[in-house]
Amino acid sequence: MAVHQSTRPTIAANDRRPAPRRWVGTALLTLLAAVIGVAFLLPAVWMLLGSLRPGSEVIGSVSPLSWRTLVPDTWTLDNYGALFGQLGFGRSLANSLLVALVSVLLGLALSVPAAYALTVLRFPGREGVFALLVVGFMVPFEAIAIPMAQLFTQWHLDNTYVGLILPGIGNGLAIFNLRQFFRGVPSSLREAAIVDGAGEFRIMTRLYVPLSTTALINSALLIFLGQWSAYLWPLLLVSDQEKQVAAIAIARTFSDTEFNFGQMFGGALLISVVPAVLLLLLQRYFATSIASSGEKG
Amino acid sequence: MSAEAPEGTRRAAAQERSGASSAGAPSSRPGRRPGRGRDLRTAVLFLGPALAAIVLLRLVPFAGAAWSTLFERVGVGLLAEQRFAGFANYQQLLSDPLFLGTLWRTIAFNLVINPVQIALAMAISVLLVQRLPGRGLWRVFVFVPCTVPLVGSSVAWGVALRQDGPVNGILTALGLAPQPFFTSPQQALASIALVASWIGIGYWMLFLIGGLNDVNRELYEAASLDGAGRWRTFTSVTVPMMKRPLLFVLVADTVANFVLFVPVQLLTNGGPDQSTTMLMFDAYRRTYTYSQPNLGATAILILTLIMLAIVAVQFRLLKEED
């Protein structure tokens, strides 16, 4: 121990072990990691392959259990054909996309100025307003969805896109993260801009927003994913098939055509594609700003 | 300062002018910033949409729900009228063993599922930050399910855990007895937990790996120099350094799971024997299936108050990170 300390002071713990034991340890850990990884992935693969076989074979192939349970012997795109054809799933996907995208735009238009005002302006009750917005919007709107759906129906917003969009535009974490980022912008920059005669709106859009793309992308993702996976709200608010979002359309397949699992799996995978692409592309924006922000700031 | 924006001008112009006015005297600022009035006006303008949203989308529905808990519905269908009932709804709910069972089940479910999910996410995160062959690939594998929305996970496990589904197929092939899963009062809630955890664990792992990567490398080196083994390093370095991210994801997970609804509504309808009825579903069923909107609102109010308490904790955790 003491010898190591004096001769190689920065060597990590692993390197002190005898080589063969370390090799075995790494192999065992790798095996464990692989088993866990495959266990998580397998149901998704099973769904993907199930959507590419005739619907009845999803259960029909279970007994006897063989590799054919997973891998189809007949490959077909019929399930996707039915989804985009008679089931009108394309329309539902488009609705989901429209609702989520407009929610992101409105949500940012609402959160960015709010976060900006709460960062740079001094006015009485500022911290109170901040707490109200963040806490209020952090309570998931599912909790209040039922009374809100009754209100929205009174306001004739049921079966409308506006009704679907509005509850998703407020996001407490988005406002919190944006303010957190804005606070990191040196106030000398703003003072210089004021000297140059810039108004608050200009300072916000030309100075703070370009410097905070990480927080903006993160907020956009939070709002988008919240709306994309919303279920209870569209269930309560929308009965018109034409306006319905994809999550509910899938649930409907689940109860209507109880036995065509191929179509259901296809639908479930289709609504996963958009979040998958977004999350895989924008992963680092998503994870950095929440849990670990304090460690860095 | 004398050029403080006059009333009645257009807002944008007022902003520009007052901005310029403070530009004229930037040095005349002894501690107090110029233009408190201007700040207030800008604040109203910038915060207006957010405040309007919180009032319309949170406070008004909440107040409406709170108000309606004080009434009861008399009669049926279109002839029903609302009659003031004081706290009768609360009395009725809180003396109803079924509701108390629901409340207790919701809390117990959360006391189990959230720590378990976070502990598993943490264990997997720690494993997948080690330098192992194919590390990136295993991470992506664990991460893939969390791109599946809850409704997709419900569909997948709803089929996988059927009596004649592949999970029972595997159990049978291993010589074990097939299990009833969603159709058994003993197993249904655990099956619901599985639906949520398949997508939840990878999601929280994402945040925890971010936190683990931020832990100072030198601390690990110091621990290894002190002769600490893997377990000792984990308990004395990793866990204390990860306290905040861990607490945060634990609370955020609780917020999400407290209103867990999709798998219950889609797969079990609260059954069998109420074994999967939790607060959110209970409020939904009272309002829409049993046509007891006032009792439903009372359940909603109780749920929302609990959520507020949890979110307040979450907010404090966030603020502490400042």
Amino acid B321: pLDDT: 60
pLDDT in tens, A209-260: 999 888 899 899 989 999 999 999 999 999 998 899 999 998 887 777 555 8
CA B285 to chain A, closest CA, distance in angstroms equals 11
B290 touches chain A (CB under 8 A): no
Query: What residues 205-224 of chain A have any CB closer than 8 A to a CB of chain B?
Result: none
Contact B58 A142 (CB under 8 A): no
Smallest CA-to-CA distance from A65 within B170, B287, B285 is with B170
For chain B, domain boundaries = 29-84, 89-320
3-class DSSP assignment, residue B83: strand
- Given a contact cutoff of 8 angstroms between Cβ atoms, the answer to whether B197 and A281 are in contact is no
Contact B249 A291 (CB under 8 A): yes
B232 touches chain A (CB under 8 A): no
Query: What residues 22-81 of chain B have any CB closer than 8 A to a CB of chain A?
Result: 22-23, 26, 33, 36, 39-40, 42-43, 45-47, 49-51, 53-54, 56-62, 64-65, 68
Amino acid A54: pLDDT: 87
For the segment(s) B89-320, the CATH number from 3.30.450.80, 1.10.3720.10, 3.40.640.10, 3.40.50.2020 is 1.10.3720.10
| Residue B65, CA distances (Å) to A139, A147, A166, B106, B178 in order | 15, 6, 19, 21, 45
* Separation of alpha carbons A42 and A65, rounded Å: 15
Predicted confidence band of residue B19 (pLDDT cuts 50, 70, 90): very low
Residue B35 φ/ψ region, left for φ over 0, alpha for ψ in the -120 to 50 degree band, beta for the rest: left
Predicted confidence band of residue A273 (pLDDT cuts 50, 70, 90): very high
| b/e sequence A142-171, b meaning 16+ C-beta within 10 Å | bbbbbbbbbbbeeeebbbbeebbbbbbbbb
**Exposed / middle / buried, residue B223 (Cβ in 10 Å: 0-12, 13-18, 19+):** buried
Residues of A in contact with B158 (CB under 8 A): 254
Residues of B in contact with A292 (CB under 8 A): 207, 210-211, 213-214, 245
Smallest CA-to-CA distance from B107 within B257, B214, B210 is with B257
3-class DSSP assignment, residue B154: helix
Lowest average pLDDT, out of A157-166, A240-249, A268-277, B78-87, goes to B78-87
To which H or E segment does residue A163 belong?
A: helix A161-165
Mean pLDDT of chain B: 84
Contact A32 B152 (CB under 8 A): no
A43 touches chain B (CB under 8 A): yes
Task: Choose the closest CB to B20 out of A9, A11, A197.
Answer: A197
Per-residue pLDDT averaged across B177-201, rounded? Answer: 94
pLDDT of residue B25 exceeding 60, the answer is no
Q: Which two tokens stand for residue B193?
A: 């937990």
Per-residue pLDDT averaged across B144-171, rounded? Answer: 91
pLDDT of residue B271 exceeding 90, the answer is no
pLDDT in tens, B29-77: 444 455 567 778 888 899 999 999 999 999 999 999 999 899 988 877 6
Predicted confidence band of residue A287 (pLDDT cuts 50, 70, 90): low
Lowest average pLDDT, out of A109-123, A161-175, B99-113, B305-319, goes to B305-319
pLDDT in tens, A17-48: 556 677 888 899 999 999 999 999 999 999 99
Q: What is the largest CA-CA distance in chain A?
A: 79
Contact A114 B198 (CB under 8 A): no
Q: Which one has a higher pLDDT value, A127 or A252?
A: A127
Predicted confidence band of residue B224 (pLDDT cuts 50, 70, 90): confident
Find all residues with CB under 8 Å of B130, minimum gap 6, and list them: A29
DSSP state of B82: E
Predicted confidence band of residue A265 (pLDDT cuts 50, 70, 90): very high
Predicted confidence band of residue A293 (pLDDT cuts 50, 70, 90): very low
* Separation of alpha carbons B87 and B298, rounded Å: 10
Angle between helices B36-54 and B11-24 (to 10 degrees): 140
pLDDT in tens, B103-141: 999 999 999 999 999 999 999 999 999 889 998 899 999
Find which of A182, A253, A292 to mutate to test the B interface (most B CBs within 10 Å of its CB). A292
CA angle A162, B62, B261 (to 5 degrees): 70
Smallest CA-to-CA distance from B241 within A292, A138, A228, A71 is with A292
A121 touches chain B (CB under 8 A): yes
* Separation of alpha carbons B40 and A237, rounded Å: 37
Of all residues in chain A, the percent with pLDDT exceeding 70 is: 88
CA angle B95, B97, B99 (to 5 degrees): 85
CA B153 to chain A, closest CA, distance in angstroms equals 8
**Which amino acid type is present at position A122?**
R
Contact A197 B128 (CB under 8 A): no
pLDDT in tens, A42-59: 999 999 999 998 888 888
pLDDT in tens, A184-223: 899 899 999 999 988 899 999 999 999 988 889 989 998 9
Dihedral angle sign, alpha carbons of residues B160, B166, B171, B177: positive
Predicted confidence band of residue B78 (pLDDT cuts 50, 70, 90): low
Mean pLDDT of chain A: 85
Of all residues in chain A, the percent with pLDDT exceeding 90 is: 49
Amino acid B15: pLDDT: 40
pLDDT of residue A115 exceeding 90, the answer is yes
Per-residue pLDDT averaged across B235-264, rounded? Answer: 89
Smallest CA-to-CA distance from A143 within A22, A35, A236, A261 is with A236
A29 touches chain B (CB under 8 A): yes
* Separation of alpha carbons A78 and A18, rounded Å: 58
Predicted confidence band of residue A103 (pLDDT cuts 50, 70, 90): very high
Q: Give me the residue label for tokens 């809850």.
A: B150
Per-residue pLDDT averaged across B259-285, rounded? Answer: 93
* Separation of alpha carbons A293 and A183, rounded Å: 13
Per-residue pLDDT averaged across A140-160, rounded? Answer: 91
Point out which residues pair with B83 in neighbouring strands. B72
Amino acid B215: pLDDT: 83
Predicted confidence band of residue B2 (pLDDT cuts 50, 70, 90): very low
Domain boundaries for CATH 1.10.3720.10 within chain A? 82-296
Lowest average pLDDT, out of A4-8, A243-247, B133-137, B311-315, goes to A4-8
What does residue A6 show for φ and ψ, rounded to 5 degrees?
-80, -35
User: Radius of gyration over alpha carbons of chain A, in Å?
Assistant: 26
* Separation of alpha carbons B124 and A175, rounded Å: 30
Contact A291 B211 (CB under 8 A): yes
Count Cβ–Cβ pairs < 8 Å, chain A vs chain B: 329
CA A95 to chain B, closest CA, distance in angstroms equals 16
CATH code of the region A82-296: 1.10.3720.10
- Closest chain A CA to residue B213: A292
pLDDT of residue A74 exceeding 60, the answer is yes
CA B134 to chain A, closest CA, distance in angstroms equals 8
Q: What is the largest CA-CA distance in chain B?
A: 89
Dihedral angle sign, alpha carbons of residues B274, B287, B54, A169: positive
Per-residue pLDDT averaged across A123-143, rounded? Answer: 89
Contact B64 A265 (CB under 8 A): no
Q: Which one has a higher pLDDT value, A12 or A129?
A: A129
